[in-house]
Structure 1
């Protein structure tokens, strides 16, 4: 939890000091919003995340990407720059299937809402070793193709908002998240891992499933 609190403090400072960043619709070759391996929450946890995102909408104001339930996800690994055609989808899918073989569903405790310079998120803490095991296996199966995400992801979260325009009311955003810093969303049991690409809808991003595997 201390890592989360440090993240909250850094995000709060960034916003209040005017250092927010915002996304634009991706173009071919952009470093963000390329194909990725993700896990998507389901059931009551998904309902609660969708409610949180909807509640955050009026706080951040118009022009931002407030994610609907179909866009909420936890990223396992980013795979490549943004491309309209994902040529390696079959290879990515095969690597994910091999990595997931024999593993149970991933369990992640979702607790705490935080603002950061690029949006708002819900923090995730793995309930056991399954998520990290899947991560390491997937990197191994990808081999050289894993190089796009060169860092080892050690923080987990579900984004509910991405800023997509200048932030008009940072104090309100920081206060809203501060009131929910200890909020328990629930224990997410993630039963499916997917390779997806992202598409801009005009008002946000949607996930387009390419390949997938059931855990457990």
Structure 2
């Protein structure tokens, strides 16, 4: 059966091959990387270390400058983004207070931990992605509870996301030689990567960390 991950790969390959792939930019007001609810594998878990190693491999193939989103401590599954990005969030922000209250209620209504099986890699027009499947109905149920508890604050992403995934690498610039990256992902399309049990969700925003392994790093909100 063809999956959405298969469709993403098929659509992304020609764009990456001819250099018309998407390129992330540093975060800005009203843009990407907003306050979000995420599920994060424990940095101590085998899966987190496996994803970190795969992220390093992908980065070596893609070349310098791309964001290593799947590195240790940064890898995450996004449940939903809650608003456009805001650069400055006051400590007493009323929207954040509502988000936290809704998250607490949704968490209390849900079964924990939630589990995922990571079944392989794919490409999107803007990233190298690890494909995930829930081990049971708990993850989708939590997402639905969160929508209900957010009420009007669910406006930004009103529908449940139709796939679960962890991005390993976000493209930010040219890929000098895309063929090795495409071939490497193709060989890992159905390579089992591991499982994880996540005990709690997090409300986070992301900050850009430059350096040898640049990435957007999720930090708790409020922080």
TM over 0.5: yes
CA contact (8 A) 1:197 1:208 kept: yes
CA contact (8 A) 1:20 1:167 kept: no
Q: Which has the higher strand share?
A: 1
User: Residues 44-99 of structure 1, C-alpha deviation per residue, up to 9 Å, x if partnerless?
Assistant: 11111111111111101011111321110000000111112343222111111111
- Which consecutive residues of structure 1, in runs of 5 or more, have no partner in the other structure? 212-216
Query: Shift of the alpha carbon at 1:198?
Result: 0.7
Tell me the distance in 2 between the aligned counterparts of 1:104 and 1:208.
22
Question: Who is 1:22 aligned against?
Answer: 23
Secondary structure (helix, strand or coil) at the match of 1:207 reads strand
- Provide TM-score, normalisation by structure 1: 0.91
Question: Who is 1:127 aligned against?
Answer: 135
Tell me the distance in 2 between the aligned counterparts of 1:182 and 1:106.
22
Tell me the distance in 1 between the aligned counterparts of 2:65 and 2:19.
17
User: Residues 93-122 of structure 1, C-alpha deviation per residue, up to 9 Å, x if partnerless?
Assistant: 111111111412111110111111101010
Tell me the distance in 1 between the aligned counterparts of 2:88 and 2:201.
20
Between the two proteins, the alignment pairs up a number of residues equal to: 210
Question: Who is 1:7 aligned against?
Answer: 8
Question: Who is 2:218 aligned against?
Answer: 207
Alignment of 1:60-209 (within 5 A): 60-67=62-69, 68-86=71-89, 87=93, 88-101=95-108, 102-202=110-210, 203-209=214-220
CA contact (8 A) 2:106 2:145 kept: yes
Q: 1:181 to 1:128 in 2, by over 3 A?
A: same
CA contact (8 A) 1:65 1:204 kept: yes
User: Residues 10-37 of structure 1, C-alpha deviation per residue, up to 9 Å, x if partnerless?
Assistant: 222332243300101111121x100100
Q: CA RMSD in A?
A: 1.5
- Provide TM-score, normalisation by structure 2: 0.89
CA contact (8 A) 1:11 1:114 kept: no
Secondary structure (helix, strand or coil) at the match of 1:45 reads helix
Tell me the distance in 2 between the aligned counterparts of 1:85 and 1:72.
24
CA contact (8 A) 1:196 1:207 kept: yes
Query: Shift of the alpha carbon at 1:127?
Result: 1.2
Secondary structure (helix, strand or coil) at the match of 1:166 reads coil
Runs of 4+ in 1 over 3 A off after TM superposition: none
